[in-house]
Amino acid sequence: MIKPHGGDILKPLFVEDSEERNRLIEESASLPDLLLNSAAAANAVMLGAGYFSPLDGYMNLADTLSVAENMKTNNGLFWPVPCVNRTDDISRIEGSSVIALRDPNVTGNPVLAIQNIEAIETLDVEKINHITKQIFGTLDIDHPGVKTFKNSGKYLISGPIRVLNYSYFKSEFSDTFRTAMEIRNQIQKNNWKTVVAFQTRNPMHRAHEELCKIAKDAVNADGILIHMLLGKLKPGDIPADIRNAAIRKMVELYFPKNTVMVTGYGFDMLYAGPREALLHAIFRQNAGCTHLIVGRDHAGVGDYYGPFEAQTIFDNEMIESALEIDIFKADHTAYSKKLNKVVMLRDASDHTKDDFVMLSGTKVREMLAAGKDLPVEFARPEVAKILMSYYQQNKNS
């Protein structure tokens, strides 16, 4: 089986031993505490679930700068986006060596993890801007990832953590949330050798469905991992529970049985384009996948990145040597009226725009909100029905 990133074994930071975990939860009641922001909480969940293996916690300033500038930690580990814990208020934890990290996304703010503090460092505006520009390629505050990152806090709290739960993901998405180790174990149980991963933050339309099938056939894969982001998105994106229902219905009806695993992971979307695509590759390698589909404008937003920047970044020699997972580079896919099937645009050079059934996201939302059926060439009727119900309720609420 493909090795985890940066080593031979996966290193999830969740405390598996229940007695030890309960002891730490009891201890945490007497510790100085910090209410995390959502991004830091998502990082803790990913550390706990093994997706951030082999990291042992939150990065210090030196590693943060090194990752932002060179995509490597100071000890040479390839990593594309800093894993940080930032805040604007350290009054409750100053002088502490061990602190409890509280979950901002669960009622009552229960303790999510315990952190050993190695350093508390200050980020001035210049450094925040420098790191932001390196990760996102822009300082435009209208970019949702930039807005979140720039406003995450001026203090950087570094050190290893022990994770005590998986926030709301395990309870709200019990049928879908899976750790990297759970996915690895299931892949082995399925006896899959070659596995194609598909990243999604959206419902899957016909084009996405066929892209998964095209990639599976192209690499002769045993199975497909549909791996959806379950965390925070930008306003206007479809909530995870609706996406989950729509994707499961599509897989149930339109994929051969026992060829697809529908799973999800607890992370907030960064919209960091090429850098986030690299992070997605690490997640899937740690989960045991051999291939990741990287499509047009992967993990992008607006016009901040070129359509294929998230693919060409993998051509970097340092990145190629750091990752074992292979990338299936995909073009935009759409239904061809000429061929009566979904194709990748690069494979249809004799087509014009009018030969395809293509709808913008805005047009799709308008049609669903108005109760209009989407073309069957664009979306499976059973999927469209779930989405229409959501938009109708949303419109009337």
Using CA atoms, how far apart are residues 183 and 166, in angstroms rounded to an integer?
16
Burial class, 89, CB count within 10 angstroms (exposed 0-12 / middle 13-18 / buried 19+): exposed
Where is 228: in which H helix or E strand?
strand 223-229
Using CA atoms, how far apart are residues 175 and 178, in angstroms rounded to an integer?
8
Helix (H, G, I), strand (E, B) or coil at 94: coil
**3-state SS, one letter per residue, for 37-82:** CHHHHHHHHHHHCCCCCCCCEECCHHHHHHHHHHCECCCCCECCCC
Neighbours of 286 (CB within 10 A): 29
Using CA atoms, how far apart are residues 172 and 31, in angstroms rounded to an integer?
28
Q: Would residue 202 show up in a list of annotated catalytic residues for this protein? A: yes
Closest CA to 178 of 166, 190, 193: 166
Q: How wide is the angle at C-alpha 293 spanned by C-alphas 216 and 212, nearest 5°?
A: 40
Closest CA to 231 of 386, 105, 390: 105
- Give the DSSP per-residue string, 229-279: E-S---TTSPPHHHHHHHHHHHHHHHS-TTSEEEEEE-------THHHHHH
Using CA atoms, how far apart are residues 67 and 77, in angstroms rounded to an integer?
9
Amino acid residing at 150? K
Using CA atoms, how far apart are residues 47 and 210, in angstroms rounded to an integer?
32
Q: Would residue 151 show up in a list of annotated catalytic residues for this protein? A: no
Q: Which of 70, 116, 129, 202 is catalytic?
A: 202
Q: Which of 178, 184, 201, 284 is catalytic?
A: 201
Closest CA to 31 of 156, 155, 123, 162: 162
| 127-135 contacts, C-beta under 8 A, 24 or more apart | 127/61, 127/65, 128/154, 130/65, 130/68, 131/64, 131/65, 131/68, 131/82, 134/68, 134/69, 135/68, 135/81, 135/82, 135/270, 135/272, 135/275
- Active-site positions? 201-202
